[in-house]
Structure 1
């Protein structure tokens, strides 16, 4: 336990050193509240340590165990439903997504609703993980799915309103964060490890890529649809 805590300190230390270097060597000003900053860094280290321990004890095992148990049913339907539901639920709980949604709502001056963005991204992740699970079950090559997904993204980028494009790509990244990654990765490994003929290293990974692509698709598709509806209403009035 103590060794793991020191290991986390070692991992965070470069961040602390960079901040202190720029504060004292470049900006050449002392920290405004050294005690508060020190306590804050200590809490960050303890929090990260607790998070990593939680992954090992809880999220990783439960993800693999759920995959193993769901495969025991006579139908793949429950596996697909679990993939969709866990993708939606974990994404809605992502702190990074909540933060980006709030910032986008403040910056967009009424064009974007943060809660709608969260739901759209969560639906996109759910769809992506479900498609990724289907790839593992079917044994298909990941290349065709990823190429097809990005071709769709490119097409939507050309059609979507300019204000949503950059945000959509950012939202594709924030979905793969603290809550989603452990469970989704464990789900993929658990499935690949239990299905005959699948290789854990080749087939077990890749779900995160699907979770990054399809939120871009859902967000831009929604923006395109809303723009079309707005133009239609203008013509009707």
Structure 2
């Protein structure tokens, strides 16, 4: 009964949250445009599934992803686990930032895998491939974004462990973004900036947020409110750099291939 009650309460909360969106959309459709949308029954049926899907997704976050992220962070930062990999006789006071290497590895792998599975990134990669007539590869873009997220989250976890101020990392990162924008291929720059946004969606955000909060709660001397948040900013920033780097490497590879073909023709 408790489960059914929680499902019902979540469904009611979702309906309350989504109703303003529906009111705006249908209000513009019927009041401003004054046109009945095509396939209205199908739209209403799909809207019902949206409500059910959002409710189930929120329950999944609450019951699975958030607890799992915090659990993994707690286990990986447990002094007993860390001391097992250190020399005999060392205590918790001897633990340094290098000894949290399993945290960085886990952050990299979870950042990469969740981004590869991100539905919004898949949709953007497919559209980019279509618009560019195949010049931008679907898997190339997805892997580039996933590597950026993985590196960003790993660096964000390092920041939590050592307790550095977040603004220095973000400022430095955007300085590199601006410098890279000046030399990156023009066609990839808008897509690179959008790639930072599509990574912060349904799959990545819950696990990343839970990981950051779990780390800040278990690493000694860290405050969850100050140190626990900010990983999502890293997950948004570094894909911009990695996508522009992917385009620059692709352009360099194409230039080298053209040079080799030119040399082959000249030698012939």
Q: Does residue 1:53 correspond to 2:59, yes or no?
A: yes
Identify which of 30, 43, 46 aligns with 1:40: 46
Shift of residue 54 of structure 1? 0.4
How far apart are the structure 2 equivalents of 1:207 and 1:62? 17
Shift of residue 16 of structure 1? 0.9
Measured against aligned partners, the alpha-carbon deviations of 1:180-217 in whole angstroms (never above 9, x if no partner) come to 00000000000000111111111000000000111111
Shift >6 Å, 4+ stretches: none
Residue matched to 1:4: 10
Counterpart contact for 2:120–2:201, Cα < 8 Å: yes
How far apart are the structure 2 equivalents of 1:31 and 1:83? 45
Identify which of 99, 102, 106 aligns with 2:126: 102
Report matched runs for 1:170-189 at 5 Å: 170-189=194-213
How far apart are the structure 2 equivalents of 1:83 and 1:217? 18
How far apart are the structure 2 equivalents of 1:101 and 1:229? 21
Shift of residue 4 of structure 1? 2.2
Aligned length: 237
SS at match of 1:31: coil
Q: TM-score, normalised by structure 2?
A: 0.86
SS at match of 1:76: helix
Shift of residue 29 of structure 1? 1.4
Q: Does residue 1:89 correspond to 2:95, yes or no?
A: no
* Larger Rg computed on CA atoms: 2
Identify which of 236, 240, 243 aligns with 1:212: 236
Measured against aligned partners, the alpha-carbon deviations of 1:48-76 in whole angstroms (never above 9, x if no partner) come to 00000000000000000000001122231
SS at match of 2:135: coil
SS at match of 1:176: coil
Identify which of 73, 90, 112 aligns with 1:67: 73
Identify which of 15, 35, 44 aligns with 2:21: 15
Q: TM-score, normalised by structure 1?
A: 0.97
The answer for unaligned runs of 5 or more in structure 1 is none
Residue matched to 2:222: 198
How far apart are the structure 2 equivalents of 1:110 and 1:139? 44
Identify which of 172, 176, 183 aligns with 1:148: 172
Shift of residue 225 of structure 1? 1.8
Residue matched to 1:168: 192
RMSD: 1.0
